[in-house]
Amino acid sequence: NAGVTQTPKFRILKIGQSMTLQCTQDMNHNYMYWYRQDPGMGLKLIYYSVGAGITDKGEVPNGYNVSRSTTEDFPLRLELAAPSQTSVYFCASIPAGSTDTQYFGPGTRLTVL
Amino acid sequence: AQSVTQLGSHVSVSEGALVLLRCNYSSSVPPYLFWYVQYPNQGLQLLLKYTSAATLVKGINGFEAEFKKSETSFHLTKPSAHMSDAAEYFCAVSGSNYKLTFGKGTLLTVNP
């Protein structure tokens, strides 16, 4: 198993551009999450999904959109990039009924200039 | 709703000294608690977890944490710091739908 994979690893965007951060897991996990990490602030939940076709907002959803058309993929879309979206983005997943922790991807470092 | 408070954004210890990183949580249900470590420019690595079994939890790299319900605490300790322990440490609590709420992190510096 590759686990949770994220692409790209790094990206620089200009203000107003759009992009999609990709997240894929090959463990057949029902639950998937997007977090952003900012210095001194820990990680904050952007969106999450409890299964294909079902998504919900987390603590900081403004400026982002998600979709979950398959169990494996959970892309995060930035429509109009802003400097406030400069951050490191982590995707994570966990199977239903687990007492374990979430499995995290390696992260995407995004800079908006 | 869950919340996590990590006391001390920066802790500095000497090599060989005790490491104590503090975490207090708030949860409306019996919590699952986690400690993660993040080395510079890397992802998150799970150190240890509490999932309502033993209150003293042992993790990797010699770290352990004790769940104290009466104090709503889950402090992380290591008897003897090593230079390789220098990193940022995050405490987290799990809520509904396994969502994690993280503390703001504690940067550990180990001095030779």
Residue with structure tokens 């990206």? A11
* pLDDT at residue number A99: 73
Q: Is the dihedral of CA B93, A78, A112, A89 positive or negative?
A: positive
Q: Do A42 and B98 touch (CB under 8 A)?
A: no
Q: How confident is the model at residue A6 (pLDDT cuts 50, 70, 90)?
A: very high
Residue B34 has pLDDT above 90, yes or no: yes
> What's the mean pLDDT when you consider all of chain B?
94
Residue B30 has pLDDT above 90, yes or no: no
Q: Do B102 and A101 touch (CB under 8 A)?
A: no
Over residues A70-87, the pLDDT tens digits come to: 999 999 999 999 999 999
What's the gap in Å between the CA of A81 and the closest CA on chain B? 23
Q: What is the DSSP track for A8-33?
A: -SEEEE-TT--EEEEEEESS--SEEE
Answer for the pair B57, B77: CB distance below 8 angstroms, yes or no.
no
Best probe of the A interface among B23, B42, B44, by most A CBs < 10 A, is B44
Over residues B35-81, the pLDDT tens digits come to: 999 998 889 999 999 987 788 999 999 999 999 999 999 999 999 99
* pLDDT at residue number A1: 73
